[in-house]
A = this chain, B = another copy of it.
Amino acid sequence: MIVARVSRCAVFLLAALSTAPAWSADAEQPAVDPVVLAKIRDAALSSDWAWQRLSDLTDKIGPRLSGSPGAEAAVVQVAAALQAAGLTVTLQPAKVPHWVRGEEQAELVDYPGHPAGLTQHLHLTTLGGSVATPKKGLTAPVLVVHSFDDLKAHAAEAKGRIVLFDNAFDQDLADNGHAMSAYGQAVAYRVQGASAAARVGAVASLIRSVGGADFRLPHTGVMKYEDDAPKIPTAALTAEDAMWVARLAAQGPVSLHLTLTPQTLPDADSHNVLADLPGSDKPDEVVVVSGHLDSWDLAQGAIDDGAGITAAMGAVQVLKSLGLQAHRTIRVVGWMNEENGSGGSKAYFAAAKDKLAQQTAVIESDSGAGKPLGVIASVTLDSLARLSAVSKALQPIGATALERRDGEVGADISPLQDAGVPGFAPMVDTREYFYYHHTAADTLDKIKPENLRRQVATMAVLAYYLAEMPEPLPRVPVKAE
């Protein structure tokens, strides 16, 4: 189990480094006062400020898809809360897609053993960015495949059909600490499935929902059309419905009627919310601590990513409430449009790109609010040891794992990471994350207040440490294109 292995590794580092940190000029003098780090942690653990913000964002606004009234309400609400907390707030303009879900419906019209006159409804949800079917829907036979290779093997049968990619999410992998790998495997069908199916002549494409639970919940999410294929409508069946159609199709021809009426409206004007706690003597150097404001439209977006943005807000609010000021500026960023276009991420990068050296570290939380286990760091190999003081400060809450990862640790911060900025994310328990991700069940009750407080503590200690250490961590070598 990776998490445990990493955890042991981190403990080993702590033991090796506790008496003489190799990275400090003066072995007796830690770079950042551990007493201050402990104070930050304890203040975070005893505050419900972030929980109140999360309640406001989820219960009072709820769905916040880019371009929607909810997304705009979130910008206003989050900016006001950060201003009230005493931070310097800026709204950074960003253009975002504006996709609106319409009707979404499917019925089995024929299958082996179908009693005459009986209508069977499938549970599904349109994938974000999909084009519509004709208004009255389309009817076509189904071709069930289990992988892209399987589609290739049956390419000759795809013409005029609705292709269903019946690929199961690997919950065992998720249960073993590899939720993101499980997601990566399955999400390929959500993102690329429609174009793959269209290329071989399909009239629509369906996937099995990307998620590990069995409660007939469809999971939405973004899809992308590739330039070399016609645009065909696409949706996610629940796991139950995908298995059902596959069982029927194994017995003979199945056809279904599919009605999806989404609309893509002109791009909308929106904003990232930026809120600075200015640095005492290096105010131009910035540590970003962030989560995203937008969510999918099916639910409150509590785990994705209400928890992330409110934990980031809470991290800086706790520093401010303690009257702390680090050498560098600590900046909350509430990203707009993580889910379907990264408009906010692009806008921030465009504004920052001429002075990238000022961006010294970027933290994003976007894996929900499971129990924090430690920190994931995309940093140079020798930087990892320099973070042991963070792990030490978090030892009382068990968030001691330090895992180095190459490449992206957060979608919104990836352009900065790609430019060499060290990137960070809280490591949290994600075993149940993909039960709820992008479904109607992503609601506030899924989050334990104490886990959110622990995540605030993790991000506050990490952000302060990165902003207070004498020199920023070294840049990460940029990969050759």
Contacts from A to B (Cβ < 8 Å): 55-56, 59-62, 69-70, 73, 76-77, 111-115, 117-118, 120, 123, 213-217, 239-240, 243-244, 247-248, 299, 435-436, 439-441, 443-446
User: Shortest Cβ distance from A192 into chain B, in angstroms?
Assistant: 26
Partner of A215, one of B59, B113, B217, B243: B217
Knowing that A60-B114, A214-B446, A244-B445 are A-B contacts, what are 6 other residue pairs whose CB atoms are under 8 Å apart, sorted by A's residue number?
A: A60-B111, A60-B113, A215-B439, A216-B440, A216-B443, A240-B441
Q: Write the nearest CB–CB distance from A301 to chain B, whole angstroms.
A: 13
A119 to chain B, nearest CB (A): 8
Most chain B CB inside 10 Å of its own CB: which residue of A60, A114, A436: A60
Q: Are A443 and B240 in contact (CB under 8 A)?
A: yes
Instruction: List, in ascending order, chain B residues with CB within 8 A of A247's CB.
Output: 55, 59, 444
Cβ B244 vs Cβ A115 within 8 A = no
Which of B113, B441, B443 interacts with A56 by CB under 8 Å?
B113
A439 neighbours in B (Cβ, 8 Å): 215-216
Name which residue of chain B comes closest to A56, CB basis: B113
Min C-beta distance of A169 to chain B, whole Å: 14
Bound-complex Cα distance A114 to B247 (A): 46
| A-B CB contact pairs (8 Å), 9 listed | A60-B113, A60-B114, A62-B120, A69-B115, A123-B440, A213-B215, A215-B215, A215-B435, A240-B443
Within the assembled complex, what's the spacing in Å between the Cα atoms of A115 and B213?
Answer: 33
A215 with B441: CB separation less than 8 A: yes
A62 to B59, CA, bound (A): 36
Question: A61–B217 Cα gap in the complex (Å)?
Answer: 21
Give chain B residues whose Cβ lies under 8 Å from the Cβ of A215.
Answer: 213, 215, 217, 435-436, 439, 441
Nearest chain B CB to A282 CB, angstrom units: 38
Evaluate contact between B59 and A248: CB separation under 8 angstroms.
yes
The distance from the CB of A369 to the nearest CB of chain B, in whole angstroms, is: 15
A435 to B435, CA, bound (A): 15
